[in-house]
Amino acid sequence: MTKKITAIFLALCMAISVLPMTIQAASKPDIKVGDYVKMGTYNNASILWRCVSIDNNGPLMLADKIVDTLAYDAKTNDNSNSKSHSRSYKRDDYGSNYWKDSNMRSWLNSTAAEGKVDWLCGNPPKDGYVSGVGAYNEKAGFLNAFSKSEIAAMKTVTQRSLVSHPEYNKGIVDGDANSDLLYYTDISEAVANYDSSYFETTTEKVFLLDVKQANAVWKNLKGYYVAYNNDGMAWPYWLRTPVTDCNHDMRYISSSGQVGRYAPWYSDLGVRPAFYLDSEYFVTTSGSGSQSSPYIGSAPNKQEDDYTISEPAEDANPDWNVSTEQSIQLTLGPWYSNDGKYSNPTIPVYTIQKTRSDTENMVVVVCGEGYTKSQQGKFINDVKRLWQDAMKYEPYRSYADRFNVYALCTASESTFDNGGSTFFDVIVDKYNSPVISNNLHGSQWKNHIFERCIGPEFIEKIHDAHIKKKCDPNTIPSGSEYEPYYYVHDYIAQFAMVVNTKSDFGGAYNNREYGFHYFISPSDSYRASKTFAHEFGHGLLGLGDEYSNGYLLDDKELKSLNLSSVEDPEKIKWRQLLGYRNTYTCRNAYGSKMLVSSYECIMRDTNYQFCEVCRLQGFKRMSQLVKDVDLYVATPEVKEYTGAYSKPSDFTDLETSSYYNYTYNRNDRLLSGNSKSRFNTNMNGKKIELRTVIQNISDKNARQLKFKMWIKHSDGSVATDSSGNPLQTVQTFDIPVWNDKANFWPLGALDHIKSDFNSGLKSCSLIYQIPSDAQLKSGDTVAFQVLDENGNVLADDNTETQRYTTVSIQYKFEDGSEIPNTAGGTFTVPYGTKLDLTPAKTLYDYEFIKVDGLNKPIVSDGTVVTYYYKNKNEEHTHNLTLVAAKAATCTTAGNSAYYTCDGCDKWFADATGLVEITDKTSVKIPALGHTAGTEWKSDDTNHWHECSRCHDKKDEAAHDYGSDNVCDTCGYYKTVPHTHNLTLVAAKAATCTEGGKEAYYKCEGCGKFYEDVLGTKEITDLASWGNIAKIAHTTKQTVTKATPTANGKIVNYCSVCKKTLSTTVIPKASSIKLKATSLTYNGKVRTPKVIVKDRTGKTLVKNTDYTVSYAKGRKYVGKYAVKITFKGKYSGTKTLYFTIKPKATSISSLKAGSKKFTVKWKKQATQTTGYQVQYSASSKFSKAKTVTVGKNTTVSKKISKLSGKKKYYVRVRTYKTVKINGKSIRIYSGWSKAKTVTTKK
């Protein structure tokens, strides 16, 4: 048998070897825009593709022709009950415009045989669900006839696909997208706001162009973006970009190149597929890349699994993708898991941030909803991201290191948006509020799962308190149903739930009396981080929704932290904050009775930060949960003080417009923070105000704070007035105790009962008027400090703009490896902060060893604080450091040599760590004390005994002279000094021609010079001492004005010494002209321009150097005066004249007669008196004769007594007789064009 098979195999090999073989070497082309590639087959025809663009994904290939006409999506919603998607609205009527689960995307990316395409949405495009006869549910997938190597040449890419917000609920994956794509029909404008439009990312090989890619085709290849079918007709084709303000219209490119909209279920639009070529693997066997000789190739060397776009079915019980080493186990009865799917869940626990013991910090427990086991890594990262973003909001940021955050991996069977089973059974109600459902798989007790099930187990197993569970959550305790679980909220400050969805919702549930204290927030909505911070404000800080309507009664008014219904600004709870930053009192909506302190607060609109009232109340709330905070100083601000918005009556108008009027006014006066530079040299005599609010956190000790404010030059020095007095002020403020602290939600309280908002609160306002003679300079700013009783700076003018830097927390074993079930958090602290944390002694079952990164200023981003732990039973290896021996001195103690362990802080006597020093005082050597001698030491003033070791002085005292010059104690002889006889040499004042000298004193005895009358400050170099520089000249100026005929001059001279300092020539105005001196009547007032230049040719400026006045009546024929009157540096006048001539006429006919001719002209009766006719035998009109016609109505004249047969030149003009200065003169128009006539014999 074996021999027979071998023979057959050899025979086949021989047969094959004799067949002719033609092998063409493959080459790797450089694909450029415009190149053509032939690849793949559809409907038994090869497909031609063209490179239309090259971007980060590589060459974008577009089908050269329409490959088919098909519907984009079927108009059916057969699978809506399975909840495989959430975009069902109108799908029954039009089909969906959602690309990701569209029929078109399913078909384009399918290699399936006929009738086997996996339709991602579950709604096949069958008859009745697409228009006409366009059903394609029985077609093979588009890629069915492509070879595997051709499919491999198509790159699998992840790219942006726009979405419509009504159904997708603003499904943003990342970035700052926040708008619908504007609907423009011109391809050049169709991408106007593309980058800010709602989108998600999709992954596929084959796709339709989106509007931006179509725009790129237009830019690169002009009209090629218009498609044609195989018959050469221009044909419309689908884009994958929806009309984003609805869920049932798609964009397409029309046959004329416009961007249109069309319902997805229609079948008459073309399909023009596209893909990105994998140029790294694509090789060709023929072709040059032209249309007539396209590249033919594939990717035969690319190893790739069989391609399918179909989403894999969700594993109902996938493996965990996180560590389960640290977990809690629950036993949940039917109240919490009615169907038993979650009756015994294992819940992995991850430490996100733990800076201190759980008994010292606020503990936050975050659970996941709608994350499968294989998605728990995403859950951990979501919690880290949301937490880190929330900690950027004040007041959280000030307490960022006082939170311990744990993520509990409460795995669900299904993802949230897929409608299957989830751990908490959260649903979103008709008000868009997420709630733990009472009707799905549990009961009303499901809402108590946090405090009855998760909390007690967490506190027993994970929390540092390790309190044993007291009750079985599956039974109702005798007596109170809720009280046995109250302790949970003493140890867990907040429960939170993060839902795995892009949907936009949020809700907080707070009723500790009944056990509720959790909030729900989405993971990936377009404002997920903002929603988390907002809901945390409800849960932890107890703040109300500032967009709520309603009215607060008196009792509710005291219970509310941040809302009010009191319209009287004298009585509003936040009256002390009015006018501080953006604190006002306004309605939260038009016509509402609910009042808020600011229109810009995250509790009303998540686009803002917390307002000042919420920050204050939040700070007070958190100060009750941690015990080492004693004062809250709100960030101070400096404004110009004008009296505006300084008294309660300025805040009576509650409308939003008035709030914005206030903020505009405040911003115009602001001089601190980012508005520091608005302070300027025009502030002399004006008032400025330093303003803040301070809350005492102590109910026992009043405080006293000092405010300093000064004007600071850019070099750091203090500005002064003209007398040298510094521009500064100081004021002390008394901060009362917080008498009402016990009523403000202390730790363990079930709710905020009521409290006095203003107890322990002080509004501080320091007003300073800048002197009128303040010596201000460009670059000056207002500086300030707020100081406590010990001089510590609590806030200054850099606090508002201070830099923050990030700190990361890590947890490691002694060998540097990561501790399981720790994720490590990140928070921000002010630049230069010195973190002083007390690490928790235990983390899970591990024992603390040491911490790196603490107790040093943090001056760069990325600072890492690493906590090191070890197993409690693990042998610790000491890392010993020698502390060298140090000798004791007279005043300081010393020590003998010893060793310290960097890890466990133990001390040892030897380098091997075998001999532990348990009494750490035993290594200390006491100070030796001084050993003073008996010999007196002295100088000119004192005497003393001196220590022989350190030479320190003891018994030091002044010499005691008796009646002589010898000290009675030490024998020091005093030299009697010379007694000066000082004479004042008077000061000599400096002048502008000679320096001066300060006053000094001269001793007539020794000839020395001194600054003072007592002779204590000798002047050793009189020539260089006390010189006063010459003073500046006292400048005065004389001006001799220039005239049209003479230069002027400006002379600067000193009025004291009469010295000429400078002379400047003012050139005379030598050229004074009218732009036109002769004008023709046109019925309008004529005003010829005047041009004046000085002798250098420089044009003088009208109304600066001269003025012009024109004579009246410049509308008619006449002669008119223009008077130029000089001013400024010029003087004198000049009168010019211009003439308005009458309008000319023209000859209409010349008729010859015997020794005569008759001339006729066009009548010109307006502004004329008559005409003149001139004739001559010369064309130059030499020896011409002129005949005057005295009436302007006469239009002809016979000229006789001429020579016969003689040629005459004839012309005519008009004139008008006018009176000028009492004399009648004629003003003529120009002559008409001359004409000729020859007389008859």
Question: Tens digits of per-residue pLDDT, 783-794?
Answer: 999 999 999 999
Handedness of CA 578, 579, 583, 585 (dihedral sign): positive
pLDDT band of 30, cuts 50, 70, 90 = very high
What is the Cα–Cα distance from 405 to 416, expressed in whole angstroms? 23
Q: Of 295-304, 404-413, 907-916, where does the model show the most confidence?
A: 404-413
User: Do residues 531 and 385 both lie within one domain?
Assistant: yes
User: Do residues 771 and 688 both lie within one domain?
Assistant: yes
- The yes-or-no verdict on residue 748 having pLDDT over 80 is yes
pLDDT band of 288, cuts 50, 70, 90 = very high
Dihedral of CA atoms 1225, 1228, 1234, 1240 in degrees, nearest 10, equals: -30
The stretch 327-354 carries a mean pLDDT of 92
Share of the chain above pLDDT 70, in %: 94
Predicted confidence at residue 340, as pLDDT, reads: 86
Q: Which residue has the tokens 């920050």?
A: 615
Q: Which residue has the tokens 């603003």?
A: 170
The stretch 300-309 carries a mean pLDDT of 78
Predicted confidence at residue 173, as pLDDT, reads: 42
Q: Of 20-29, 75-84, 412-421, where does the model show the most confidence?
A: 412-421
Please give the single-letter amino acid code of residue 238.
W
**Is residue 623 a part of any domain in this protein?**
yes
**Is residue 1112 a part of any domain in this protein?**
no
Contact 603, 594 (CB under 8 A): no
The stretch 265-285 carries a mean pLDDT of 95
- Give the length of the chain: 1241
Q: What angle do CA 185, 191, 197 make, to 5 degrees?
A: 115
Please give the single-letter amino acid code of residue 177.
A
In this structure, the number of other CB atoms found within 10 A of the CB of residue 288 comes to 12
pLDDT band of 954, cuts 50, 70, 90 = confident
Q: Residue 536: enclosing H or E segment and its boundaries?
A: helix 528-539
- The yes-or-no verdict on residue 196 having pLDDT over 90 is no
C-alpha closest to that of 372 among 500, 202, 506:
500
Predicted confidence at residue 368, as pLDDT, reads: 98
Predicted confidence at residue 745, as pLDDT, reads: 87
In this structure, the number of other CB atoms found within 10 A of the CB of residue 75 comes to 23
Residue 2 has phi, psi (to 5 degrees) of -65, -40
Predicted confidence at residue 419, as pLDDT, reads: 74
Q: Which of 872, 894, 919 is the last residue of a domain?
A: 872
Predicted confidence at residue 90, as pLDDT, reads: 64
- The yes-or-no verdict on residue 1064 having pLDDT over 80 is yes
pLDDT band of 974, cuts 50, 70, 90 = confident
Question: Across 736-862, where does the E strand assignment appear?
Answer: 761-769, 781-787, 793-796, 804-813, 826-830, 842-843, 846-852
What is the Cα–Cα distance from 768 to 679, expressed in whole angstroms? 14
- The yes-or-no verdict on residue 1161 having pLDDT over 70 is yes
What is the Cα–Cα distance from 813 to 848, expressed in whole angstroms? 9
What is the Cα–Cα distance from 160 to 167, expressed in whole angstroms? 18
What is the Cα–Cα distance from 1160 to 1170, expressed in whole angstroms? 14
Q: Which residue has the tokens 């800010």?
A: 196
What is the Cα–Cα distance from 161 to 208, expressed in whole angstroms? 10
Angstrom CA distances, 772 to 683, 721, 776, stand at 9, 8, 10
- The yes-or-no verdict on residue 443 having pLDDT over 60 is no
Predicted confidence at residue 1184, as pLDDT, reads: 93
Interhelix angle 376-390/528-539, rounded to 10 degrees, is 70
Query: What token pair was written down for 821?
Result: 């079930």
Distance of CA 922 to the CA centre of its chain: 60
DSSP state at residue 102: -
The stretch 116-132 carries a mean pLDDT of 88
Q: Which residue has the tokens 């013991």?
A: 357
**Is residue 223 a part of any domain in this protein?**
yes
**Is residue 852 a part of any domain in this protein?**
yes
Angstrom CA distances, 847 to 283, 461, 645, 843, stand at 61, 15, 58, 7
Contact 210, 240 (CB under 8 A): yes
Angstrom CA distances, 679 to 635, 675, 687, stand at 19, 8, 12
Predicted confidence at residue 122, as pLDDT, reads: 77
What is the Cα–Cα distance from 1131 to 1049, expressed in whole angstroms? 12
pLDDT band of 24, cuts 50, 70, 90 = very low
Predicted confidence at residue 26, as pLDDT, reads: 66
Residue 531 has phi, psi (to 5 degrees) of -65, -40
User: Do residues 791 and 920 both lie within one domain?
Assistant: no
User: Do residues 503 and 581 both lie within one domain?
Assistant: no
Q: Which of 827, 851, 872 is the last residue of a domain?
A: 872
Residue 483 has phi, psi (to 5 degrees) of -60, -35
What is the Cα–Cα distance from 880 to 899, expressed in whole angstroms? 6
Cross-strand pairs, 261: 251
**Is residue 26 a part of any domain in this protein?**
no
Dihedral of CA atoms 176, 180, 183, 189 in degrees, nearest 10, equals: 0
Q: Which residue has the tokens 């002295």?
A: 938
Higher pLDDT, 940 or 756: 756
User: Do residues 396 and 260 both lie within one domain?
Assistant: no
User: Do residues 955 and 919 both lie within one domain?
Assistant: no
Residue 1056 has phi, psi (to 5 degrees) of -90, -55
Please give the single-letter amino acid code of residue 522.
P
Dihedral of CA atoms 395, 398, 401, 405 in degrees, nearest 10, equals: 10
pLDDT band of 886, cuts 50, 70, 90 = very high
What is the Cα–Cα distance from 1040 to 1051, expressed in whole angstroms? 8
Higher pLDDT, 835 or 384: 384
Q: Which residue has the tokens 């000298």?
A: 997
Query: What token pair was written down for 157?
Result: 């890419």
Least confident range from 174-178, 398-402, 567-571, 1047-1051: namely 174-178
User: Do residues 884 and 906 both lie within one domain?
Assistant: yes
What is the Cα–Cα distance from 213 to 666, expressed in whole angstroms? 47
- The yes-or-no verdict on residue 317 having pLDDT over 60 is no
Share of the chain above pLDDT 90, in %: 65
875 burial (CB, 10 Å; 0-12 / 13-18 / 19+) is exposed
**Is residue 367 a part of any domain in this protein?**
yes
User: Do residues 810 and 826 both lie within one domain?
Assistant: yes
**Is residue 474 a part of any domain in this protein?**
yes
Handedness of CA 461, 464, 466, 471 (dihedral sign): negative
Least confident range from 59-68, 297-306, 480-489: namely 297-306
pLDDT band of 953, cuts 50, 70, 90 = confident
* Long-range pairs, 478-482, Cβ under 8 A, ≥24: 482/513, 482/514, 482/515
Q: Residue 456: enclosing H or E segment and its boundaries?
A: helix 455-461
Cross-strand pairs, 1158: 1151, 1198
- The yes-or-no verdict on residue 81 having pLDDT over 50 is no
Contacts of 879 (CB under 8 A, 6+ apart): 901, 902, 903
**Is residue 1052 a part of any domain in this protein?**
no
Total domains in the chain come to 6
pLDDT in tens, 697-706: 999 999 999 9
Q: Residue 866: enclosing H or E segment and its boundaries?
A: strand 863-871
Query: What token pair was written down for 1080?
Result: 């023709």
DSSP state at residue 451: I
- The yes-or-no verdict on residue 322 having pLDDT over 70 is yes
Least confident range from 166-175, 546-555, 661-670, 839-848: namely 166-175
Predicted confidence at residue 78, as pLDDT, reads: 64
Q: Which residue has the tokens 């996996």?
A: 118
User: Do residues 625 and 503 both lie within one domain?
Assistant: no
* Long-range pairs, 389-394, Cβ under 8 A, ≥24: 389/529, 389/532, 389/533, 390/529, 390/532, 390/533, 390/536, 391/827, 391/828, 392/828, 393/533, 393/602, 393/609, 393/610, 394/609, 394/610, 394/615
Predicted confidence at residue 214, as pLDDT, reads: 97
User: Do residues 155 and 286 both lie within one domain?
Assistant: yes
Domain that includes residue 159, residue range: 36-298
User: Do residues 362 and 469 both lie within one domain?
Assistant: yes
Q: Which of 796, 827, 857 is the last residue of a domain?
A: 796
Whole-model pTM: value is: 0.54
- The yes-or-no verdict on residue 319 having pLDDT over 70 is yes
Average pLDDT, the chain: 89
Please give the single-letter amino acid code of residue 806.
T
User: Do residues 506 and 599 both lie within one domain?
Assistant: no
Least confident range from 93-102, 450-459, 650-659, 708-717: namely 93-102
Contacts of 14 (CB under 8 A, 6+ apart): none
- The yes-or-no verdict on residue 936 having pLDDT over 50 is yes
CATH number, position 1209: 2.60.40.10
What is the Cα–Cα distance from 846 to 627, expressed in whole angstroms? 26
Contact 954, 932 (CB under 8 A): yes
pLDDT in tens, 565-583: 999 999 999 999 999 999 9
Residue 775 has phi, psi (to 5 degrees) of -90, 75
